């Protein structure tokens, strides 16, 4: 299984949107690669409908969604057609999944990413999520059991937090949402800590020497 900070494994795969070559085809983009146990399962169906309904929001963040399961391309197509034609859930109806879904019958991609958990199932990929940056580095990894659907809004929040940290050299506190105050990285020495406490900086406030934040909202 690849780790945070490592290069994401490269692969070629057949998908519902044609063949893809990763990471070559996604140079300069963020990618959320997520696996699901099987087509025509209810939890997966709710996840795919939610991902599809939010696809434009991810696209606006320069992020491509890519799904995967150990099923054939024909099963994928039949399932996605069923979702569009028959399933209505939480106000979502006539949902078309346009992002690529990898057909991984030989489990080649699933094995490269450690998506198979033998104690859960040796023939199904668990609900894994890999957030991959524009340099094809793995930045976050989430794993869910087969029974639990993912919070797609949280995955989007995680992506936005990573982008915020990269762009501004800050960290995001618990439950951070866009527009919330951010954390200024802690100092590396006592001298720097004292200077930072005393230095004037617009919007900055310190709770202690190791914990300074920057206001993002004007009340």
Give catalytic residues, as residue numbers.
Answer: 44
Reduced to 3 DSSP states, what percent helix, strand and coil does the chain have, rounded to the nearest 5?
30, 30, 40
Residue 107: how many CA atoms within 13 Å on its side-chain side? 14
Beta partners for residue 214, in sequence order? 182, 204
Whole-angstrom distance, CA of residue 131 vs CA of residue 153: 14
Identify the three-state secondary structure at position 93.
strand
Identify the three-state secondary structure at position 200.
coil
DSSP run (H or E) holding 108: helix 108-112
Let me know the angle formed at the C-alpha of 135 by 27 and 110, rounded to the nearest 5 degrees. Answer: 85
| Residue 150 annotated as part of some ligand binding site | no
- Residues comprising the binding site for substrate? 127
């Amino acid at each position: 299984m690849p780790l945070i900070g490592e290069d994401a494994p490269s692969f070629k795969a057949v998908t519902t949107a044609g063949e893809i070559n990763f990471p070559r085809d996604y140079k300069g983009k963020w990618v959320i690669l997520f696996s699901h146990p099987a087509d025509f399962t209810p939890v997966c169906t709710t996840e795919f409908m939610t991902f599809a309904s939010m696809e434009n929001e991810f696209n606006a963040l320069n992020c491509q969604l890519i799904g995967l399961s150990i099923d054939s391309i024909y099963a994928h197509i039949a399932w996605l057609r069923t979702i569009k034609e028959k399933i209505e859930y939480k106000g979502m109806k006539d949902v078309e999944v346009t992002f690529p879904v990898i057909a991984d019958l030989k489990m080649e991609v699933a094995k490269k990413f450690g998506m198979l958990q033998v104690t859960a199932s040796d023939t199904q990929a668990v609900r894994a999520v890999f957030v991959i940056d524009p340099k094809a580095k793995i930045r976050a990894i989430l794993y869910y059991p087969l029974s639990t659907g993912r919070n797609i809004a949280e995955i989007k929040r995680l992506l936005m937090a990573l982008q915020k940290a990269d762009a501004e050299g800050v960290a995001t506190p618990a439950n951070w949402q866009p527009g919330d105050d951010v954390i200024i990285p802690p100092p590396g020495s006592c001298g720097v800590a004292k200077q930072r406490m005393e230095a004037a900086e617009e919007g900055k406030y310190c709770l202690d020497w190791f914990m300074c934040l920057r206001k993002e909202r004007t009340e």
